[in-house]
A and B are shown apart, each in its own frame.
Chain A
Amino acid sequence: MSDRDSPTDATADSGRPDGADESQPDAVDGEGSVSRPADERPPYVESTIIMTTVRVIAPFVLTLGLFVMFHGASSAGGGFQGGVIAATTVVMLGFAFGIEPIASRLRNEHLALLVLSGVGTFLVVGLGGYLVGDNFLQVSEYETLFHHGSKYSIELVEVGIGVVVSGVITSLFFLLGTGIDAADAADPDTDSEEDR
């Protein structure tokens, strides 16, 4: 039961590669590690065909994702679908050029900001309803501010959803692919306090 006594240590461990930090002995003897060490992961194989294909179609896929995202309010489409398609771009790039190089460019903070801005957009539109009307998410009242206000405010929510979905899918992909980069690594100041 020793693993139960120090949950803090174990969490900190799960977020980093094995043995990366000598001051953090693996508190749970491998039991607590949810990431795969680098040498156990399947190797990245460079393929000209895949790289060329991805280079050609990636812009189109991203455009399609945005297209679907921007059609959430008035026609078939929506934030969920669009966000998934947009995130596919990153997944494709990951397979073509290796997950780690891509993940090192799109770091945890970027993805967190992506997700935050998406949820924030929804909340701004929702709470803005109190300013223009007297109810949460009262999109009909945006009509008084600008033409087709209710349509565009719903559209904005859809785009926010799309941004959240693409951010979450990308970070899940990185998390599964690399095991470390996108994980919510604990802040350094917590680690120092729990040395034994």
Chain B
Amino acid sequence: MSDTLLPLLVALPLLGAVLAVAAGLASERAAAAVTTLVLAAQTGLAGWLGSQAVLDGPLSVGVGGFVAPYGIELVVDGLSAAVLVLVAVVSLAVLAFATEDAPGGTAFYAQYLLLVTGLSGMAVTGDVFNLYVFLEITGLATYALVASAGTGRSAVSALKYLLFGTVAASLYLLGVGYALMATGTLNMADLATELAAAGYDSPLVLASFGFIVVGLATKTALFPLHTWQPDAYADAPDSVSALIAALVSTVAAYALLRLIYTVYTPAFFEAVPVARDALVAFAAVSIVVGSVLAVTQSEIKRMLAYSSVSQYGLVVVGLAIGTPAAVFGAVVHLLGHAIMKGGLFVAAGAVADLTGARTVDEYAGLADRFPVLGGASAVLMLAMVGVPPAVGFAGKWYIALGAVRAGSWPVAVVIFASTLLTLAYFALLVERMFVAPASESVLAATDGGRDGDDDTDALGPSPPSASRPSRRALALVVGAAVVAIVLGVVVTDLGTALEPTIDTLLSP
């Protein structure tokens, strides 16, 4: 019954984008209100349908009554339910920060909702061509959001992202084309059987796998295909950085997981072991190089961006290893990374609004002046390093466990090394914040700033005007820290909930 409501997960934010523009013709506040309402409704819908999918097994529907594999099928299983809920919740939460920090403007809210449309669509679709369409919707909305900072730098970054993103999506489409030539179908479930019939070692199937993986790896930002990502994250408005760092690459990595296990199935890796080895090596290099590049950064947002390159490497290693524990670890790390990185970008944005501090050195003494913000950021950083009981630890633990069980000792070593490197850059930052004497910008913010009442409705206070972080930003950072810890504690429950889905994915 609730199956037929699946298209609403995509139609609702799309309708919201239309309503936001219409409301925006009246006033910008109306557009913000519409966006909030729509995202709240989307969160409710995603939560309800997601819980149905987890409790009663996968939901699926052929859009417009056209039966799969001829029509477009939408499918929600436990995994896509988790991603859907993540997208809805994070976009709603970041919106609270965006309304006070963001460039504003009606177009911004419309793009925001279109981004949610694309991301939700990528999560629910069961059709590889439809996935391409949503990949492009996501991409176009993201390019526009990155450019919405309105500076020359952000325009250049958005253009770079556009070039990379378009090439990546085209490579993906090329791979879909090869798969279509080999099988004559576009439905994911149908492709799984037809690809097996076509023979996994046929050149068409191998070429399609290669193109699809490279296309989606570019979207996920694995080294050396990551070069669009630090610029895009660093030059976007702070709220947009938080949103895209939390969601866009996450959903691309989800799509990679979905394609590898639903379309190509583990049997493909059995038949073509070199594909798995190449993917593991690719991701392992990404883990190490991403971390090393992060250590060398002095600007906070860039450091966080390179850290993402490394963390997505971990996720892809987990899903490439392909034991149940490793795939579960990859999913946990995917969700956990989204929460932690989103929270850290919000924190970076709040600090920049308060003090203008944007580099590691400028963060000196921050925790003395803003103990709650600094403390919550430190919790998120340590969670990212993998200190138990936070979710960062749980994800890495399961991935490493899966790697050891699969006998991939070098991968376990790489994961351990990456933890040390992650510690290197985050510990430096924590040391600056808590131990080092206060930097000039931090001092200026606390001594020279006027004592604002923190009117949370005010649009982005220009630095250094406020002496306290805005309540919303603070609530988001603290909330992200709490969620990161809670998710780590309840990870076994999450495992029980996702177990049937992962078993289905990994069954040959």
Contact = CB atoms under 8 A, between A and B. Distances in A.
Interface of A: 1, 3-8, 10-14, 28, 31-32, 34, 109, 112-113, 115-116, 119-120, 123, 126-127, 129-130, 133-141, 184, 186-187, 189-190, 193-194, 196
Given A1-B358, A4-B358, A190 B459 contact: yes
B15 interface: yes
Given A11-B105, A127-B15, 16 more contacts: A1-B358, A7-B154, A11-B104, A32-B151, A32-B152, A112-B21, A116-B21, A123-B18, A126-B11, A135-B4, A135-B61, A135-B62, A135-B64, A136-B4, A137-B64, A186-B28
B155 A34 contact: yes
A97 B166 CA distance: 36
B105 A184 contact: yes
A6 B150 CA distance: 10
B345 to A, nearest CB: 14
B4 A186 contact: no
B18 A184 contact: no
A167 B152 CA distance: 27
A159 B63 CA distance: 20
A140 B65 contact: yes
Nearest to B156: A31
A141 B62 CA distance: 14
Interface residues of B, number: 44
B105 A123 contact: no
B153 interface: yes
B158 to A, nearest CB: 11
Chain A binding surface SS class: helix
Contacts of A116: 18, 21-22
Contacts of A34: 150, 155
A12 B154 CA distance: 14
A7 B102 CA distance: 7
Interface string B70-109: 0000000000000000000000000000000011111100
Contacts of A127: 11, 15
B8 A28 contact: no
Interface in B1-35: 4, 6-8, 11, 14-15, 17-18, 21-22, 25, 27-28
- The interface centre, meaning the residue of A8, A28, A127, A130 with most chain B CB atoms within 10 A of its CB, is A8
B149 A10 contact: yes
A123 B15 contact: yes
19 contacts: A3-B152, A3-B153, A4-B352, A5-B462, A10-B150, A11-B105, A11-B148, A119-B14, A120-B18, A135-B7, A136-B61, A141-B65, A184-B106, A184-B107, A186-B28, A186-B104, A190-B28, A190-B104, A193-B458
B177 interface: no
Contacts of A140: 64-65
A136 B17 CA distance: 18
Nearest to B237: A7
Given A1-B358, A123-B14, A134-B4, A14 B460 contact: no
Contacts of B104: 8, 11, 186, 190
A189 B459 CA distance: 11
Contacts of B14: 119, 123
Nearest to B234: A4
Contacts of A13: 150
Contacts of B103: 7-8, 10-11
